[in-house]
Structure 1
Amino acid sequence: MRELQIVDAAELATAYAAADYVVVLDGDSLPLRVGLAALDLEAYAPASRYAFVTAWNPASQPRSDAANEAADALLVAQLDALGATRHAAWAQDPRGRWREPGWLVLDLDESALLRLAQEFGQAGVLDWTAGEPVRLRMLTSPPAGTAIAHTDWLTA
């Protein structure tokens, strides 16, 4: 497990919460937004619990495509070993300057999700229950005075 060294957790969480997330199902691109229910996606891929996780750029530090692809292959192997249903997805900043591949995972146990996120050095994941708004789960302690809607702060 990696220990995260986040310089500005509030700034990072704000960026994650504002990002656009997209899931590809049967060639259709379905959007996700922190704080909004994902009813179209949930109708398309019924489950009781949903998550977005990536292995790219641990601690939001840019890495080479080769390093990111190797980490992603390890994440996929672990998701497959857990028998998790996954769909290709990505996150990007609203201006489209940054894009990071990941996976929408259906019905993955919360403890397994958090373990994978920690193992792959991720500062945050999306996680929500069907019918509820998408939540950002930051795997760091909350900075003093920080309140970001639909964001949970977890100590690793």
Structure 2
Amino acid sequence: MRELHVVDAGELAAAYAAAHYAVVLDGDAIGLQVGEPAGDLEAYWTARSYAFITAWNPASRPLSEAANNLADSRLVARLQALGLVFHPAWASDHAREWRESGWLVGDIDPAQLDTLAIEFGQAGVLYWEHGKPVRLRMTLRRPGDCPGLAFVDWIELATADR
């Protein structure tokens, strides 16, 4: 697995926005892309809204597979406790040198998603409403010199270490 070296939050947002995402439904992998509608997914699985979240590599620092799997188990327990419906998903770069497992969640409230992102140390998650393009939600402060990125929302949550 390739280590991702990030200079700043703007660079991280650009990397996340360019990543490939996919969800597995009934054995079929359905691709997702930030800025694009998810019509194939939405035709297959109807929900009011959708989100992608992972517990892997908090703060974009690579962890061992064992540590990532433990964090993933904790995330699954939280999603189950919240009564949410979710399916296996992943994110990867174009060269498929970097990949993280995660979950595509249906009908989650954006505030609930933001809380989970912070709890599991995630700088970014995907969220969109049915029929609209996939959007990236960054939980970091937007750098002052960061150019605007289409379909990226900066959700500057108040936390001590962000």
TM-score by length of structure 1 reads 0.95
Amino acid at match of 2:69: E
What per-residue deviation string (whole Å, max 9, x for no partner) do you get for residues 32-70 of structure 1? 000000000001010000000000000110000111000
Contiguous gaps of at least 5 residues in structure 2: 1-5, 158-162
Q: Distance in 2 between matches of 1:55 and 1:125?
A: 10
The question of 1:75 aligning with 2:75 is answered yes
Match of 1:50, SS state, is strand
Amino acid at match of 2:111: S
Count of matched residue pairs: 151
Q: Distance in 2 between matches of 1:16 and 1:149?
A: 12
Identity of aligned residues (%): 59
Corresponding residue of 1:54: 54
Corresponding residue of 1:127: 127
Corresponding residue of 2:111: 111
Match of 2:59, SS state, is helix
Return structure 1 stretches of 4+ with deviation > 6 angstroms: none
Corresponding residue of 2:34: 34
Q: Distance in 2 between matches of 1:57 and 1:71?
A: 9
**Comparing 139-148 with 64-73, which one deviates more in the overlay?**
139-148
Amino acid at match of 1:130: H
Corresponding residue of 1:3: none
Corresponding residue of 2:85: 85
Contiguous gaps of at least 5 residues in structure 1: 1-5
Say what the alpha-carbon RMSD is for the aligned residues: 0.9
Q: CA deviation at 1:7?
A: 4.9
TM-score by length of structure 2 reads 0.91
